[in-house]
Every structure is written in C-alpha cells, then in structure tokens.
Amino acid sequence: MHRDTHSPSSAHSAALPSGGCRDGAAPMLALFNELLDSFQVLFWKEEMELTLVGLQYSGKTTFVNVIASGQFNEDMIPTVGFNMRKITKGNVTIKLWDIGGQPRFRSMWERYCRGVSAIVYMVDAADQEKIEASKNELHNLLDKPQLQGIPVLVLGNKRDLPGALDEKELIEKMNLSAIQDREICCYSISCKEKDNIDITLQWLIQHSKSRRS
C-alpha cells in the first residue's frame, strides 16, 4: 500500500503504521494526480463539502471559527443540532456541516456524512476519560455502508494542554490502524494556539470532491 509522503515534517503526524496519512494510490497514479492538481489550481475553482463530527466539547465549532476567521473564542457554546458554514480559502470554497456531539444528536451524523468529500472527526486529546467513547462512536459511524470509502481526517485537539495525547497515542487509543477501507489521516492540533491548522487546511483542500473524482 502506498504511504502518503506529502505531509510536512512539521505536521508531527504519527504512523499508520509509518506515517500520519494513508491512501491507496499507486505511485505513478499519485504523481499524475499531483500534476493534475497543479494544473487545476491555475484554471479552476474547487468546491468541497465536509462534515465535522465528534463528541461534545471536543472543539468542533471552535475549529470552524479558527479556519474561517483566525479567531479563537474561549467561550464557545456547544452546537445544538447542526450549523452550516461556507468558507473560501484561495480558489476553494468549503461547505462545512458542524454537527452537535451530544448523545441525542449522534444519530444525525451518518445522514450528514453521506456523499461528502471528507469526514473530519474531532477528538479532545486532553480528555482521556472520553477517548474510549470517542473511538466507539467513530468506528460505529464508519461501519455504515453509505459512508464506505469516504476519506477521514482525525484531529486530536487541545494539544496545548498538559497530558494531551500525541499522534502516536491517539492512533493507538482510537484504533485507527484497523480502518483499512479508506484513506485516513491523523493530526495533533491546537485551535487555541493555531498549531497545525495550516497543514489541516492543506489536507482538506487536497480532498475536494472534484479532485477525488
């Protein structure tokens, strides 16, 4: 299986099992896709649709605000139901669904993940008491037949806090290596300090639906 070698060294991404990201593209195909991507950047505008899910208080809405405006707000209120926001970065327009993480809203996740360019799964890396529940919810979600093959980006937020899991620990605790039916990537981030937000945006932009098709 081809391992993605395009993640910057500053990403601090851990192995799956030997790199933060994994995809199934053959080397020559990957090279062709890179050339095609470069050509598309010059002439086309890209659109993509993402769904952001994860347990409550993991930092989903904060993440949306940071990538949209660069502003961190300590006093974010948990999302009730869902929010939709459109964000433009360069020549890419991102339609982003932010779905509530409380137990009563988790049955909605699968519905809003259907047909999207990628699923972003947010984890509070500093709240180890909820890691098991977060893992179970992720694997339950990805078991849904309608979501087969959709790329997943797992973000371990709050890396600035003491005791937060690093990428290697997060991959192990979330059992990400067991996910073999799709591309999966894991980054450790801090919305508060804006750590690794840039590489996260790079990954998202590279996964616009038109580029995957």
Check whether 100 is labelled as a binding-site residue.
Answer: no
Check whether 59 is labelled as a binding-site residue.
Answer: yes
Check whether 200 is labelled as a binding-site residue.
Answer: no
Check whether 61 is labelled as a binding-site residue.
Answer: yes
What tokens appear for 53 in the block?
């899910």
Check whether 60 is labelled as a binding-site residue.
Answer: yes
Check whether 24 is labelled as a binding-site residue.
Answer: no
Check whether 55 is labelled as a binding-site residue.
Answer: yes
Check whether 38 is labelled as a binding-site residue.
Answer: no
What tokens appear for 55 in the block?
């347990």
Check whether 124 is labelled as a binding-site residue.
Answer: no
Check whether 57 is labelled as a binding-site residue.
Answer: yes
Tell me how far apart the alpha carbons of residues 199 and 50 are, in angstroms, rounded to a whole number.
16
Helix ranges (H only) for the chain are 27-43, 60-69, 109-113, 131-142, 167-173, 197-206, 209-212
- Nearest alpha-carbon partner for 188 in 203, 207, 170, 162: 170
Check whether 23 is labelled as a binding-site residue.
Answer: no
Tell me how far apart the alpha carbons of residues 8 and 136 are, in angstroms, rounded to a whole number.
30
201, with CB counted inside 10 A (0-12, 13-18, 19+), is middle
Check whether 159 is labelled as a binding-site residue.
Answer: yes
- Nearest alpha-carbon partner for 50 in 64, 33, 66: 64
- Nearest alpha-carbon partner for 2 in 123, 148, 153, 19: 19
What DSSP letter does each residue of 47-95 carry, written as one string? EEEEEEEESTTSSHHHHHHHHHHS---TTPPPPSSEEEEEEEETTEEEE
Check whether 160 is labelled as a binding-site residue.
Answer: yes
Pick out the residues of the known binding site for Mg(2+): 61, 79
Pick out the residues of the known binding site: 54-61, 79, 101, 157-160
Pick out the residues of the known binding site for GTP: 54-61, 101, 157-160
